[in-house]
Amino acid sequence: MHSNNHRRSMVSKASLQELESHIRDVADFPKKGILFKDIMPLLSKNLYDTIDYMGDILPVDKIEAFAGIESRGFIFGTALALKYKKPFVPIRKKGKLPPPVHSETYQLEYGEDSLEMACKHDFKNILIVDDVIATGGTYLASKKLCEKAGLNVLGIAALINLKDLNQLKQSGDTVYHLFEY
Ligand code: AMP
């Protein structure tokens, strides 16, 4: 039997264009007017090269830990933590993590939502990870949570940045992304 590494070395790396072709646009999902970026086909086609490209654009030496935002941020955050042998911290929806936790409530288009994160960590510099950044509201709430826990946020890494929907570049937050629309 071949090891996975051996098998990978015989298969050439996909191009970014090829990876991008596996992101599916779904109009009016989950609500009318939203153009949903479906990343599930990409995960099933080539998660390995996607994580490789994401890692290539990150300041890996500065990153002490990865925080993933529930739930699709868990996929990319965990994969990056594994690749670089660094800790992974989940940022979860309210009521999922046992105490003690920090909590942050943020505004949605209609109503509000809350995210939570464990209080104590033995590292300082953390990178937040999600699949798609739209308004940036989820990231900014996650950043506040990390800051409440005494952490220094290095920015956000996401597969896709919907740049016209957020002002994160102007706000000074570093956005690492593979694809921008
Ligand atoms: P936001 O707080 O507006 O930046 O939204 C971020 C969260 O909503 C992310 O966790 C995304 O998974 C999800 N999301 C928002 N807009 C889209 C979209 N157009 N396609 C796919 N996911 C989206």
Strand partners, 132: 160
Per-residue confidence (pLDDT) for residue 78, from 0 to 100: 98
Catalytic pick among 7, 70, 72, 116: 72
Per-residue confidence (pLDDT) for residue 8, from 0 to 100: 64
Q: How many CB atoms lie within 10 A of CB 20?
A: 14
* Contacts of residue 160, Cβ cutoff 8 Å, sequence gap at least 6: 23, 37, 39, 131, 132, 133, 177, 178, 179, 180, 181
Tell whether ligand 1 has an atom less than 6 A from the beta carbon of residue 53.
Answer: no
* Contacts of residue 16, Cβ cutoff 8 Å, sequence gap at least 6: 53, 178, 179
Per-residue confidence (pLDDT) for residue 2, from 0 to 100: 58
Per-residue confidence (pLDDT) for residue 11, from 0 to 100: 81
Tell whether ligand 1 has an atom less than 6 A from the beta carbon of residue 133.
Answer: yes
Output the tens digit of pLDDT for each of the chain's 181 residues: 556 666 666 689 999 999 999 999 999 999 999 999 999 999 999 999 999 999 999 999 999 999 999 999 999 999 999 999 999 999 999 999 999 999 999 998 788 999 999 999 999 999 999 999 999 999 999 999 999 999 999 999 999 999 999 999 899 999 999 999 9
Tell whether ligand 1 has an atom less than 6 A from the beta carbon of residue 137.
Answer: yes
CA of residue 132 to ligand 1 center, whole Å? 5
- Alpha carbon 129 to its chain centroid, in Å, reads 2
Per-residue confidence (pLDDT) for residue 116, from 0 to 100: 98
